[in-house]
Amino acid sequence: MAFGRTSRLSAVIAAATLAGTALLSPAGEADAAGTGSGKDAQRKDAVATGFGGAVTTVDADATAAGLEMLRRGGTAADAAVAAAAALGVTEPFSAGIGGGGFFVHYDASSGDVSTIDGRESAPAAATPELFVDPETGQPLPFDEARVSGLSVGVPGTLATWDEALGRWGRYSLRHTLRPAIRLASRGFVVDETFRSQVEGNQDIFADFPASAELFLPGGELPEVGSRLRNRDLARTYRQIARQGTGAFYGGDIGADVAATVQEPPVADDADRVVRAGSMTEADLAGYEAIEREPTQTQYHGLEVFGMGPPSSGGSTVGEALNILENADLSAADEASSLHHFLEASALAFADRNRYVGDSDFVDVPLAELLSQGFADERFCQIDPEQAAPKPVGPGDPDGDYAPCGDVAAVGGAGEEGMSTTHLTTADRWGNVVAYTLTIEQTGGSGITVPGRGFLLNNELTDFNFAPTQGEAPDPNLPGPNKRPRSSISPTIVLDDGEPFLALGSPGGSTIITTVLQTLLNRLDLGMDLPEAVAAPRASQRNTPAVTAEPAFIDSSAGAELEAMGHDFEAMPDIGAVTGLEFLGHGLVQAVAEPQRRGGGSAAVLVPVGRR
């Protein structure tokens, strides 16, 4: 089959040895040992192949932090937490302890896949009218909702780390935070991506003194090549290392978070309207990271595991794969395969928007959404020669399926931030982690907690601001302690019970289509994992136009798809995948983006040729 790995094993080893693929650079090794030398001092390798475990992230410092834990005998969970903490320093606009995420873990000793829901939750005082202007009765403009205390959900990142380490780690937070503490104290070298992300938030950061002090030194954008230190975050991490997560969930760090949400510290000369939120210390003290059942579906005999509600990632990727199980994509030409990918994505998104929300508060028909019978009914609505007008309506997952069943009224989708970050790790024992974490928009709410060195999320803007389903119940309206729907899609694929692939991506609702397209590239379209990650992307989320990268639009397949009725809207980059492929006999290939978002960083503990 197209995804067979045994036949590729000797070729991958030979290619890696001849090319010296992904030998950890001397600077990378030094930084893992504690120099904190910064991004520009390390080579970013997009592909690494070897033994003993692997780490792949968007950032060389974070990858080095994860490798340090593997080198010390840590597990995949230890490496994931260390890497995530480092991303809170170097990628603070996408990750950090002011946010949340979803953690998927494969346990080599039991063969079980488990998931942790560390999604941010609404405060107890939240109502369905959270983002409705009480004076006009209309939903708030998105930017006004984002840059406010209203948008800040109770952060779940630290609770996720604590739960993961308690279950699957060999080290405590006291040890796994050490690389990030060094990095925050000694600083890292600002690159062009970091500077551009500050520039995109410059007007917002300037209105909050703590954000301006950290990210706009002297009132100016940080210079590329300059060193940025975050001593406040280093002190915050040290306190958590000493006192545990109780310092955040019920302690004085949490008190500072609640105070910042309730009274956003706006500059005296700012003319921005910044609404207060209702989060309390009790909301923080009551937060729990929740173990959820993973989603599971079969595709070409492989088991595909993902994240269940309140994430829509696992259900939507899984439903689309089930739909596409009816099409022989590996035998089709490229344009036909991509046409089916786009049409299946639109159908799955219609069902996502109609049915998926926080399953603790709404009845999500998850088993039916992931049933093959429902997928078969949806598949027969795909015209193999012509794109359907979008948006399409959702199906009826009622358990009574017939070919080409009627569809319901069309449902809409809410706003979802494009920023986030994903990391993937494995250890010498065969444990695997796929972990996606976020603070929502690039820069989150824009509000840094004074004296603490981290930004607060704007995750609650993932709720729908007003009902979008007509007379049908809306599963994604705000409510007390409710978690907003997410598109985060950390994914682990097993082949006969053993890890085969692990991957994920940032990108808001494009996360789902990015993960789906990468899987199809690898499993159906004859690409190896580096090719599957690098290939041009398109995203159909049940919208009139397909969002696509220019290289996709300009390709021959893009032209054929346009002739089939697909309209395109260009986006420079979609997603930023990191992933692992397990090649057998202990060999693992780590892959990161070669170009998008400045390129990622993949490394293995023992590169091929050094064993």
- Give the residue numbers annotated as catalytic, written as ranges: 420
Instruction: Look up tokens 């808001």; give the residue.
Output: 508
Nearest CA-CA partner of 116 in 317, 288, 318, 358: 288
What φ, ψ does residue 176 adopt, rounded to 5°?
Answer: -70, -20
Written in H, E and C, the secondary structure of 251-278 is CHHHHHHHHHHHCCCCCCCCCCCCCCCC
- Vertex 273: Cα angle to 272 and 278 (nearest 5): 135
- Whole-angstrom CA distances from 270 to 197, 203, 564 are 21, 10, 51
SS3 assignment, position 215 = helix
For residue 280, what are the CA distances in angstroms to 126, 168, 261? 11, 31, 8
245: tokens are: 């997560």
Q: In 3-state terms, the chain is what percent helix, strand and coil (to 5)?
A: 35, 15, 45
Altogether, the residues listed in the chain come to a count of: 611
What's 543's DSSP letter? S
Amino acid type, 132 = V
Asked if 38 contacts 64 with a C-beta cutoff of 8 angstroms, the reply is: no
Reported as half-sphere exposure (CB side, CA atoms, 13 A), residue 259 has a value of 13
- Cβ atoms 18, 12 nearer than 8 A: no
DSSP letter for 563, please: H
Determine the 3-state secondary structure of 283 from DSSP: helix
How many C-beta neighbours within 10 Å does residue 335 have?
19
3-state secondary structure of 525: coil
| 3-state DSSP of 485-511 | CECCCCEEEEECCEEEEEEECCCCCHH
Collect all residues with Cβ–Cβ distance below 8 Å to 166 and sequence separation of at least 6.
none
**SS3 call for 426:** strand
The answer to whether the CB of 610 falls within 8 A of the CB of 35 is no
Q: Distance between CA 131 and CA 110 in Å, rounded? A: 45
The torsion angles phi and psi of 408, rounded to 5 degrees, stand at -85, 180
Q: Is 418 helix (H, G, I), strand (E, B) or coil?
A: coil
Angle at which helices 231-243 and 252-262 pack, to 10 degrees?
Answer: 130
| Residue whose token pair is 């397209």 | 517
Q: Which helix (H) or strand (E) holds 13?
A: helix 6-19
CB atoms within 10 A of CB 7: 8
Listing DSSP states for 348-407 in one string gives: HHHHHHHH-S-TTTS---HHHHT-HHHHHHHHTT--TTSPPPSSPPP---SS---TT---
